Structure 1
Amino acid sequence: MDIDTRFDKIETRLDKHDEKFVDVLTRLAHIESNMATKEDMAKLEATMIKWMVGLIFGASVAAITVMTFVLNNAVPKTPVQPPTPIVIQVPAYK
Structure 2
Amino acid sequence: MHEGKPADALGFTFDGRALTARAGDTVAAALLANGIQACRQTPVSGAARGPYCMMGVCFDCLVVIDGVGNRQGCLVPLREGMRIETQAGRRHPDGARS
Give the TM-score normalised by structure 1: 0.16
Q: Which structure is higher in strand share?
A: 2
Q: Which has the larger radius of gyration?
A: 1
Larger relative CO (CA 8 A, sep 6+): 1 or 2? 2
